[in-house]
Structure 1
Amino acid sequence: MPNDLPDMDRYDAAILRELAADGRMPVTELARRIGLSKTPTQARVKRLEETGVIAGYRAVLSPVRLGLANVAFVEVRLSDTRESALQAFNRAVQGVAEIEECHMMASSFDYLLKVRTGDIADYRRVLGERISSLPHVASTSTYVVMEAVKERGL
C-alpha cells in the first residue's frame, strides 16, 4: 500500500493492507494486528471510510465456482471517437454482464475489455451478439487467458 497519501501513516497503511485481505475482520483483531488499541483503530477506519480511501466492502466471488472460468481480453476499435460516440459506447457497455472491466486506452485501439464467460463457445456468442453490436464498434482483437498468474484488487 502506498504510504504517501495525505494524512496517512504506517498504521493507516497497515489498516488498508489488513482490510484488503479480510474486510470482515473484527476491529479487535485488526487493532491487535496493527499494534494499536481498539478505539484509535476504529477512529482511523472511520476516517478512511469518510475520506473515501476505503470506498466500501464487498464479497469476493469465485468466478470458477460460478462457472465463469473463461477470461478473454478484447481490444476494441471504434469507427467514431467523438465524445458522443464514446459516451454511447460507455453507456452500452454497462448493460453487458459478461464485461467485467472496461478501460478507455491511449493506444492504437480505443478500449480494453475484460470478458468472463463459462467457456470459449460462450465467449464467441458474447463477442458476436453483444460486443460487436455495441455502438460504433469497428473491430475487435481477442486474447484468451490461459492462466491467471496474479489477480487481485488493491
Structure 2
Amino acid sequence: MSPDAPEIDETDRRLLRLLAEDSARPASALGRELGLSQPATWRRIRRLREAGVIAGRRLRLDAAALGFGVTVFLGVKLSSRQRVALEEFERAVGAIREVQRVEHVLGLYDYRLRVVARDLADFERVLRRRIMTLPGVGDVEANVLLSEERRAGPL
C-alpha cells in the first residue's frame, strides 16, 4: 500500500462492493446492510471520495437498446510515435462521439479504442471518414464484439 493510500477496512470494502453494484443506493439503505447509521455511512463515503478511492458515479447505458447494435475494439498503431502525434491523436479521437473508450497501451498497437455504431455499415463510415483520417493513424485492427459475458465490477 502506498504511503498516501487511505486505510481501508473490511467495512469499507463491503461498502465499495455495494456501491459498485448500485451507486445510487441511499446511505440509509447501505448503512442498514452494513450495520451503520446513515451519518456514519456518509462519513465513510465522503472519506473514500476525498481520498480518491471513489472517483465518481457512472450511469451505464445499454448501447443496443439505444440503437447501437455493433461494438468494435480497434487496435490503432500510429505511423509516427512522436509525442506531438500522440497528443494530437488523443485530442482528435476524443472528439469522435462513437468512440466510447480510448486506452493508450503497450504492445503491438499504441491505442485500443471501443467504438459503437448502429450497424456494420455505420461502423465502416466512422472508420473510413473519422478514424482513418486522424493525425498519425497507421495500422488498424478491428475486432467485433460478439457477446459480453461479464461487465466491469468491483476490483
Q: Deviations over 1:104-127 (max 9, x none)?
A: 111121111111111111111100
| Other structure's SS at 2:108 match | coil
5+ residue gaps, structure 2, are: none
Q: What residue in structure 1 maps to residue 64 of structure 2?
A: 64
Aligned length: 150
Moved over 6 A (4+): none
Deviation at 1:35, TM superposition (A): 2.0
Q: String of CA shifts for 1:70-92, please: whole Å, max 9, x gaps.
A: 11111111110011111100111
Q: Which residue of 2 aligns with 1:18?
A: 18
Matched residue, 1:105 = 105
Shift of 1:149: 1.3
2:94/2:102 contact within 8 Å kept: no
**Counterpart code for 1:40:** A
The percentage of counterpart residues that share the same residue type is 37
Partner of 1:93: 93
Q: What is the Cα deviation at residue 153 of structure 1?
A: 4.9
Moved more, 129-138 or 30-39: 30-39
| Separation (CA, whole Å) in 2 of partners of 1:58 and 1:103 | 18
Offset of residue 20 of structure 1: 1.3
The aligned residue for residue 147 of structure 1 is 147
Distance 1:146 1:8 in 2: 38
Partner of 1:51: 51
TM-score, with length taken from structure 2: 0.91
Distance in 1 separating the partners of 2:58 and 2:138: 36
Provide the secondary structure at the position in 2 that maps to 1:143.
strand
Distance in 1 (alpha carbons) for counterparts of 2:54 and 2:6: 14
Q: Deviation of residue 57 (structure 1)?
A: 1.8
The reply to whether residue 81 of structure 1 matches residue 81 of structure 2 is: yes
* Distance in 1 of aligned mates of 2:9 and 2:117: 41
Instruction: Give unmatched runs, 5+ long, in structure 1.
Output: none
Which TM-score applies when normalising by structure 1?
Answer: 0.92
